[in-house]
Amino acid sequence: MNRVVLTGFGVVSSIGVGAEEFAAGLRAGRSGARPISLFDTTGFEHANGCEVVGFDPSPWLRVFEPSMVGRASQFSIAAARMAVADAGLDEAELAHKRGLVTVGTTDGEAFDLDWLVETEVNEGPEKMDEAASRRVPAHLLSMAIARELKLANVSAYTIATACSAGNYSIGDGFDAVRSGEVEFALCGGADAMCRKTFAGFYRLGTIAPEFCQPFDADRLGILTGEGAGVLVLESLESAQARGARIYAEILGYGLNCDAYHQVAPNQSSIGRCMKLALDDAGVKPHEVDLISAHGTGTKANDITETRAIREVYGDQPPRTISVKSMLGHTMGAASALGTIACALAITHGFVPPTINHRSTDPECQIDCVPNESVPADLNVVQNNGLAFGGNNASVILGKFVEGETR
Amino acid sequence: MSAPAFAAVRPVITAWSAVSPFGIGHQSYVDGVHAGRSTAAPLDKQQWAGPDEQAHLVPSFTNKEVLGRKGTRSMDRVTGLAVSTIGQVLHDAEGNRVVETGADSALVLGTTMGSVQSVMDFTRDSFTGELPFHVDPARMPNSVMNCAAGQCAIWHQLQGPNTTLAGGGTAGLLAMDYARRLLNHNRARKVLVGAAEEYSPARAWLHRHSGGATVLGEGCAVLLVEPLAHVEAGREPLAEVLAIQSRCYLEGDPRAALEASVRSALSSADVQPGDVWAAVGSAAGAKGEDERATLRAIFGDSTVDRVPAAELGDTGAASSALQIATVLSVAERDAEAAGKLALVSAVDPHGTVACALLRLAG
């Protein structure tokens, strides 16, 4: 089977656009939190979120007019186009190769559905906007990439496993490239901030008033975020043949389902998912240098996830960080951005911090690398994605060293 | 590209069921296909306030009636369709559990966007309530597209990979391709593969505003897929999945992409168009006409007319999963089908095509 490597990243996030800016943001511990401007927040006592401010889709669109694609699809197109360029690939050349395009999402174009509902409420369902109605099917997040990049010889679909969808998508691409059934895969995740999800989490009492503090004793919940992360996956052979820069190698992944509760996380099932990933990667727990946790900053997630980590890794687990402290919860993009963050950490030799941290919750017994990034030589890194529906997905990345085999 | 150094499994379908406008369960579907009746019916406008006068609904389907009161209070329709269809696959006609599930059992469920009715209902409360967060927390999971798959896992103890695949009209075949990959890489021992679409006023309005001209239908079909080498005792293969192909069409016309997909599926299985006994399209409306014209050009009329059209309306994501069920329904009662090849295709109006080549058992 092929070894599968990551050679290009596209990032749209609240702390930076593009792999370079994103890496700088992670290293600096930048915060994307700010008052939400994308929808009317009147009536909420607090409404911070991690928006992508000032995003202009037009430079990224060549086939579509901006009005033809929703905000999440605009993010996914921009991230895909960036990722292909970052990988040093020519779009025209890519069109000749067999490929897979899968973007993960939680809400698809729910940002459009928000205002379709608003129109319905104020003016009646007859008045709902036609262009917006055409934008909302969830597979368009991936189709839009294929159409913009003129990729005809690809399978294109969206993986809608909520907040672990990015990792699900990366795992799918890994298998497809590993077996040689495709020559490349564009995988990742995208979501646009929406009122629906904010109102839902707010009602559940899980929106933090100001910022997100994963693993902190005084954490108050999530901040909703948005953005996209797209990764170029190809075989090691293909990357070497064209002299591409290799960020990291995908060593394996694991997927499972709690089959327990739609919302509450399940410790033993999350532990089983991590074990599946380690086994698939052929990696022993003590070989893992860093875990990028799902780490939402809610009471329940952080306790359950860190306990599951200790169940798998024992009493001295690897450093465990949450990039959601910086990015907020970007939903379907979250684990894609998390995996990109892990690969950038390997490439650039640092551990991204968990920011906004004061004192670690005694019930979350991990070193979350508070507030300041630290230099580190990372060989194996794990990225977790957990979701509503009990959809867990962990991805394991390894440093790629020329001439060494795993 | 180096050849894969692993032995791909031979995925076989060993059981299936459907909840469709033909009714609930395998037998209703087989009977419906053979009766060849249309299932369109006038809508009760009290219950279905929306733009449509008629639709193809699952007759008198409510979650409470079919699944009972327990656990269905906040369940939406598409979740009920999927949970009940899988229940049908896992149990025999007497209600005995005949398929074991657990950590090795995966689910791949195709969709367009989950229950858009649930999303819009949940959001509406935020606009109409006294305060914008006066939404129903019990229904928040319904507003996320993986709700149905997650509930299926809980109801039926499916603890393997649990994938919601949004693919619109091609979702059923793409889900099958995804399932094949899970089996090839040993991520599950068996996979429930299917797709579901509910009828709802919200879907009907969006369809109308998007220029959709088809009469909407709903339903769910789920197939149990296992590696041929590991079919569990008590089950026999009904068909082998020989090849699945998918492509995108970048302009408005799907025909060239569909033809390329079909030819590529045939050549990967090393067969000629003349070897194929039945070819069935899945799309409704104008795209469906393009689809059938393409199949006729490749296979000829007798192959395309072999399987009667199942008049289920535009069942969206469920369409191609239901069409596999249609082919298997015909094979079940036609001795001539044994060992023959059948091709099921699908065209999504937004830009993807797909096809699956099956060898019917016998």
End-to-end, the C-alpha distance of chain B in Å comes to: 36
* Whether residues A135 and A266 fall in one domain: no
B196 inside 8 A of chain A by CB: no
The partner residues of A254 in beta bridges, in order of sequence, read A394
pLDDT of B4 > 60? The answer is no
Residue of A nearest to B177 (CA): A155
| pLDDT 10s digits, A95-114 | 999 999 999 999 999 999 99
A101 token code pair: 């395009």
Structure tokens at B273: 């168009």
Give chain B's largest Cα–Cα span: 66
Last residue within a domain, chosen from A196, A220, A241: A241
Scan residues 361-380 of A and list those with Cβ closer than 8 Å to B. Answer: none
Q: Is A161 on the interface with B (CB under 8 A)?
A: yes
Write the pLDDT tens digit of every residue in A23-76.
999 999 999 999 999 999 999 999 999 999 999 999 999 999 999 999 999 999
DSSP code for B310: P
Please count the structural domains in chain A: 2
Domain B11-230 classification at class level: alpha beta
Which of A191, A222, A241 is the last residue before a domain boundary?
A241
- pLDDT at residue B6 above 70? no
Q: Does B3 touch chain A (CB under 8 A)?
A: yes
- Which of A205, A223, A241 terminates a domain? The answer is A241
Per-residue CA distances from B221 to A229, B110, B328, B341 (Å):
33, 10, 12, 21
Q: Is A342 in the same domain as A394?
A: yes
Q: What's the CA gap between A88 and A85, in Å, rounded?
A: 5
Do A156 and A191 belong to one domain?
A: yes
**Domain containing residue A218:** 4-241
Q: Do B133 and A43 touch (CB under 8 A)?
A: yes
Q: How far is A358 from chain B (nearest CA, A)?
A: 29
Considering the domain architecture, whether residues A202 and A143 belong to the same structural domain is answered as yes
Residues A181, A162: one domain?
yes
Task: Enumerate the domain spans of chain B.
Answer: 11-230, 241-360
Residue A204 in this model has a pLDDT that exceeds 80: yes
DSSP per position, A284-301: -GGG--EEE----S-HHH
pLDDT above 90 for B5: no
Contact A137 B166 (CB under 8 A): yes
3-state secondary structure of B41: strand
Does A92 reach chain B within 8 Å, measured CB to CB? no
Q: What is the pLDDT of residue B11?
A: 98
Judge whether A405 lies within some domain: no
Residue pair A10/A86 in contact by the 8 Å Cβ criterion: yes
Quick check: ipTM above 0.95? yes
Task: Tell me whether residues A117 and B160 touch, CB distance under 8 A.
Answer: no
Alpha helices in A56-109 (DSSP H): 71-86, 91-94
Asked whether the predicted pLDDT for residue B109 surpasses 50, the reply is yes
Domain shared by A189 and A284, yes or no: no
Q: Residue B176, exposed/middle/buried by CB under 10 A (0-12, 13-18, 19+)?
A: buried
Does the residue A404 lie in any domain? no
Residues A231 and A261 in one domain: no
What's the CATH code, domain B241-360?
3.40.47.10
pTM of the model: 0.98
Cα gap A398→B224, rounded to integer Å: 35
Q: Is pLDDT at A7 greater than 50 in this prediction?
A: yes
CATH number (domain holding residue A377):
3.40.47.10
3-state secondary structure of B326: helix
Q: Which amino acid is at B268?
A: S
Residues of B in contact with A135 (CB under 8 A): none
**Three-class SS state of A28:** helix
Q: Does B181 touch chain A (CB under 8 A)?
A: yes
Per the CB < 8 A criterion, the answer to whether B226 and B241 are in contact is: no
Count Cβ atoms below 10 Å from residue A299 Cβ, excluding itself: 16
Whether A210 and A289 map to the same domain: the answer is no
Evaluate if residue A249 carries a pLDDT over 60.
yes
Both A233 and A257 in a single domain? Answer: no
Percent of chain B with pLDDT over 90: 96
Q: Tell whether the model's pLDDT for residue B62 goes beyond 70.
A: yes
CA B191 to chain centroid = 14
- pLDDT tens, B315-355? 999 999 999 999 999 999 999 999 999 999 999 999 999 99
- Active-site positions of A? 163, 294, 329
Please report the beta strands in chain B, taking only residues with DSSP state E, as ranges in sequence order. 11-20, 23-24, 41-42, 54-55, 105-111, 162-166, 190-197, 219-227, 239-248, 276-280, 341-347, 352-360
Q: Indicate whether A148 and A192 sit together in one domain.
A: yes
DSSP conformation letters of B48-99? --SS-SEEBPPTT--HHHHH-STT-TT--HHHHHHHHHHHHHHB-TTS-B-S
Instruction: Give the one of A108, A139, A154 whose C-beta lies nearest to B167's C-beta.
Output: A139
Residues A289 and A205 in one domain: no
**How many Å apart are CA A250 and CA A244, to the nearest integer?**
16
Residue A403 in domain: no
pLDDT on residue A345: 98
What average pLDDT does range A222-233 have in this prediction?
Answer: 98
Residue B248: which of A143, A175, A257 has the nearest Cβ?
A143
pLDDT at B362: 85
Q: At residue B1, does pLDDT exceed 80?
A: no
Crossing angle of helices B201-209/B116-128, nearest 10°?
A: 100
Residues A190 and A265 in one domain: no
Q: How far is CA B74 from CA A156, B198, B218, in A?
A: 32, 16, 20
**B11-230 shares its CATH topology with B241-360:** yes
For A144-202, how does the pLDDT look when each residue is reduced to its tens digit (9 = 90+)? 999 999 999 999 999 999 999 999 999 999 999 999 999 999 999 999 999 999 999 99
Q: What is the pLDDT of residues A282-324, one digit of tens each?
A: 999 999 999 999 999 999 999 999 999 999 999 999 999 999 9
The mean predicted confidence, pLDDT, of chain A is 97
List pLDDT tens digits, range A354-403.
Answer: 999 999 999 999 999 999 999 999 999 999 999 999 999 999 999 999 87
